[in-house]
Amino acid sequence: MLMSGFVDRVGDSVALVSVDGSAHDPDLLMVEALDAMVLEAGADAGSSEISIAVPSHWKPSTAQALRNALRTHLGFVRSGMAPRLVSDAIASLTAANAELCLAATGVVGLLDFGGSGTSATLIDLAGDFKPLSATMRYTDFSGDEIDAALLLCVFEELGHGSGIDPASTAAVGQLARLREQCRTAKEQLSTDRTTEFAAELGGRRATMRFTRDELGDLIQDRLTGLIYAFDDMLCRHRKGWNDLSAVITVGGGACIPLVNERLSVHSRRPVMSPAQPAFAAAAGALLLAARGEELDLRTRTSIGLLTASSGNDIIELPAGDLLVIDEEALTDRELAWSQTEYPGDIRVPYTPEAFDEDSSPGGWSMRLNVIEPPRERAWRRVRLSQLVVGMFALVAMTAIGGVAYTLTGIENHQAPPAPSVVPVPLPPASTPPPPTTTSPPPTSTTVPMTTQWIHVPLLPVPIPIQVPANQAPANPAPQYPAQQYPGEYPGGGYGGGYPPSGGGYSQNPFLGPGY
């Protein structure tokens, strides 16, 4: 029975179901696969120092789940020390540095083109290869995606109407064989210009022929998406392509010529790959294990030595025998209560790097599990500032409300005028139209005019006006009785040579005798 896909399921509590319906723990499947690899290499897990390169995009909980699963397998803990887990990014860069002789300082971008996705990491070359960013995982460009694109081309050539049942055993076998042929063709196109193979599906046969240019057309868009994703990663870490001293490509996808060509054109930086980029992580893990900087052989106890020498999984001690621990196998922690005499004042400089195993070039350590404390909630840090701001806001609102209430109390409001009721006027009564009258045509007549003199009081001169001859004057001359002027008119008549006015003439009483 063949099981796949358990590497990405490590640390998952959901079991992996096989074809026959049985459930399997992904962590234990991973351990069994590692044990099979050790046996295939011809090594003995019980007497060898094992270093395992794990994906750099794994979370700490995933790596811890693999550690716990390795402790359940006696073949990996027989030596008294569990296998050492290292980041595949650090391991790959270690192998590339040993072969390519990279610069001593600077920042490089490591791109690992794997089967299930591409991982990108920024690493500082100074010191022991310190990662500057979390590993970005891009799953749209992977070996499985390229195989699926080639398989789709095969389906289009053979036709979709083959009548094959996908659930049948024969169909599953044919599909698996086609997928394997596509993967082989992809690998051959990394070195050859053309490749061909015989494809068969549902009774139909065809000879498939692919060229390197056709493969480039299939992966062009996916590769562009990866480059844009790496651009975004550089921007998020406030870096650019000019800040990189080189671009290192590892993994099986790094063998495709188009990948390095596109990266070189886009980045304008040196793009380098080791001779065998697909095995860079394994070679780097081997180099890290051979250094022995963190692997102290004194940590193995006599129990591990006894187990390795006996060759049995279970150690049986006779009754009454005591388990004696070899003094040469004492750990560094056991030397803390040694009876060795020292001078009274020994000052040892504090070197935290000696105990901080997470800062080693190998990545994670098996002897020290760093548990990060829970992060403080953000609301606790800002609670005091929010309380102060709220109190100031409450005081301001209270002051504004008091002023508004005071102004409202002293304001004199005038009563609105009483509404007046206006009677609705009645519609006008309909009146008959006035009778039509015909006026006679006008006749022109000439009226004789005459001159009349008007005497106005307080004016010495009479005023002449034109009036019709048969019309009396508008203002008749006033009659002045003789009794009003007895001196001028004796006997009641007009005096001297002033005859009375007659014929419509009147004399001004204010004029002298000479007028």
Q: Residue 126: its pLDDT value, please?
A: 84
**Nearest of 280, 314, 302, 237 to residue 111 by alpha carbon:** 280
The pLDDT-based confidence of 123 (bands split at 50, 70, 90) is very high
Residue 402 DSSP class = H
Reply yes or no on whether the pLDDT at 122 is more than 90: yes
Report the C-alpha gap between 484 and 492 in whole angstroms: 9
Least confident range of 263-277, 332-346, 413-427: 332-346
DSSP H or E segment with residue 252: none
Would you kindly state where each structural domain of the chain is located, as residue ranges? 1-82, 143-217
Q: Which two tokens stand for residue 83?
A: 């296998």
Q: What value does the mean pLDDT take over residues 398-404?
A: 82
Distance of CA 456 to the CA centre of its chain: 107
Burial class (CB in 10 A: 0-12, 13-18, 19+), 197: middle
Q: Is 292 helix (H, G, I), strand (E, B) or coil?
A: coil
Interval 447-467: pLDDT, tens: 777 888 777 666 667 777 777
Is the pTM for the entire model greater than 0.85? no
Per-residue H/E/C for 25-84 = CHHHHHHHHHHHHHHHCCCCCCCCCCEEEECCCCCHHHHHHHHHHHHCCHHHHCCCCCCE
Report the C-alpha gap between 270 and 502 in whole angstroms: 145
Interval 342-391: pLDDT, tens: 444 444 444 444 444 444 444 444 444 455 666 666 555 557 778 888 88
- The answer to whether 200 and 174 are in contact (CB under 8 A) is yes
Q: Residue 41: its pLDDT value, please?
A: 79
| Percent of the chain with pLDDT strictly greater than 90 | 20
DSSP string for residues in 74-128 = HHHHTTSSPPEEEEHHHHHHHHHHHHH---SSSEEEEEEE-SS-EEEEEEE-STT
Other CB atoms within 10 A of residue 469 CB: 8
Report the C-alpha gap between 167 and 175 in whole angstroms: 11
The pLDDT-based confidence of 133 (bands split at 50, 70, 90) is confident
Residue 438 DSSP class = -
What is the phi/psi pair of residue 86, to 5°?
-130, 155
Residue whose entry in the numeric block shows the structure tokens 């009677």: 423
Report the C-alpha gap between 45 and 81 in whole angstroms: 11
Homologous superfamily (CATH) of 143-217 is ATPase, substrate binding domain, subdomain 4 (3.90.640.10)
Q: Residue 113: its pLDDT value, please?
A: 93
Report the C-alpha gap between 230 and 120 in whole angstroms: 7
Reply yes or no on whether the pLDDT at 249 is more than 60: yes
